[in-house]
């Protein structure tokens, strides 16, 4: 494992478990770590879009925390899904390897295969929701929450939090020391 000079100044970023599973409960450090690595992936990709990943995550946190926004926009989940999927567009897996050459590839282990499968499924869910393909999005939800019959705010919130948690765990295991 290599040491990341940017994150080295942080004293052991801890993987924090939260009990309620909500996006707003994700520790700020975790969001910044994930945003930092994803920003690197986006910046080094051939994608011509200019994204600020940290701003996307802060915006998501604001939306999940602000009932007025959610009540004022009938399609807030679709709009947020569209924004959250942006760092994963246009060949995310290849862009990830381009930016972080030392991380495991899909075929390197079962753990790696599960990581890429989970991130791919969440990206597909976000894409389906953004394009209002509700039946497809609900199939994904039912695979994780079998009793769900609709795309509720709570389930959407948990899936978005899962995305950050999965990425944080992966980056903490494969990109820098002192996190576990």
Identify the three-state secondary structure at position 51. coil
The Cα–Cα gap between 176 and 34 comes to 12
The Cα–Cα gap between 140 and 155 comes to 11
Structure tokens at 7: 């994150």
pLDDT exceeds 80 at position 151: yes
pLDDT band at 178; cut points 50, 70, 90: very low
Mean pLDDT of 111-135: 96
pLDDT exceeds 70 at position 114: yes
Mean pLDDT of 112-136: 97
CB distance 98 to 44 below 8 Å = yes
Length of the chain: 180
């Amino acid at each position: 494992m290599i040491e990341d000079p940017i994150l080295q100044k942080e004293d052991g970023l801890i993987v924090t478990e939260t009990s309620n599973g909500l996006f707003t409960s994700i520790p700020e450090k975790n969001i910044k770590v994930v945003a930092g690595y994803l920003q690197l992936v986006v910046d080094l990709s051939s994608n011509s879009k200019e994204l600020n990943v940290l701003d996307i995550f802060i915006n998501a946190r604001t939306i999940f925390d602000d009932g007025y926004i959610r009540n004022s926009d009938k399609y807030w989940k679709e709009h947020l899904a569209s924004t959250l999927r942006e760092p994963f567009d246009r060949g995310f897996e290849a862009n990830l390897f381009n930016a972080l050459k030392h991380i495991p590839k899909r075929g390197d282990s079962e753990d790696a295969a599960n990581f890429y499968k989970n991130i791919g499924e969440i990206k597909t869910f976000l894409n389906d929701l953004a394009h209002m393909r509700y039946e497809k999005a609900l199939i994904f939800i039912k695979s994780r929450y079998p009793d769900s019959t609709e795309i509720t705010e709570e389930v959407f919130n948990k899936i978005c939090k899962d995305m950050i948690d999965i990425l944080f765990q992966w980056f903490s295991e494969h990109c820098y020391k002192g996190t576990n």
